[in-house]
Amino acid sequence: MGKKRISDQKLIDIATDIGNGDHVMKLAIKLGVSAADAKNANLDCNTILQKAMGATAIKDQKDKLRDGLIKSGQRATADKHLPSRTPGRKAESNTELTPKQRKREVDDKTPNKSPTAKKPKGLSKLQEAEQKWEKAKKDVKEEDTKVKVLQKNLQDALKRLDHKNKEERKRSSVVTNLKRQEYDEVAKQQAKRKQELDKLESFEGTS
């Protein structure tokens, strides 16, 4: 008798036990669903299970799903909904678990997880808020850098203008001094010529 596909109700029951949220990402990866597809599904466990099984041959669905559940830390859910055909396998596998893994199994058996759990979504919103905050800080830092560059450019321009003004004042001072010297020289020559004329007039008056 051929193998049957895992029913939608079975997938819903498994998803109900596991719940939704960030912890579903590990299961998605183990089942061959990409991280991008898992995020696009809003980390909804049932949607991810449906996608994974839709891409799996019917004869391999049970083994693949059970293996993915176990490798992602959901052994209790795997044993509950997809028990192994080998008698005693569950008991043997449990003896191989570490204390931490046994504790995780106990936690998985507690009936407090549901596909509509809000806590994982709350964590996602917190992560989204943190990302927005980091982006805002980055934007502020970039704007601050731009302002500093503009301030430096302005300071450099002011320095160049001040230097140019100093050069102009220096050049103007040189021209003024040259004109003053030229004026003094002309004044001296005129004074000397006047003295000579005065002497000449004085000499003519005495003759």
Q: Which of 1-10, 116-125, 149-158 has the lowest mean pLDDT?
A: 116-125
pLDDT at 94: 46
Question: Which of 194, 94, 41 is closest to 52 using CA atoms?
Answer: 41
Question: Which of 87, 65, 48, 89 is closest to 6 using CA atoms?
Answer: 65
Please state whether the predicted TM-score (pTM) of the whole model is above 0.85. no
Q: Which residues lie below 8 Å from residue 14, measured CB to CB, with a gap of 6+?
A: 45, 49, 65, 69, 77, 81
pLDDT at 14: 93
Torsion of CA 66, 72, 76, 77, to 10 degrees: -60
Tell me what the mean pLDDT of segment 44-72 comes to: 92
Quote the percentage of the chain above a pLDDT of 90.
31
- Does the structure show a pLDDT above 60 at 120? no
Tell me what the mean pLDDT of segment 111-134 comes to: 67
Rounded mean pLDDT of the chain?
81
Residue with tokens 């230097």: 163
pLDDT-based confidence at residue 196 (cuts at 50, 70, 90): confident
- Does the structure show a pLDDT above 90 at 93? no
64 in Cβ contact with 78 (< 8 Å):
no
Question: Which of 75, 77, 82 is closest to 100 using CA atoms?
Answer: 75
Residue 82 DSSP one-character state = S
Q: How many CB atoms lie within 10 A of CB 69?
A: 26
Quote the percentage of the chain above a pLDDT of 70.
78
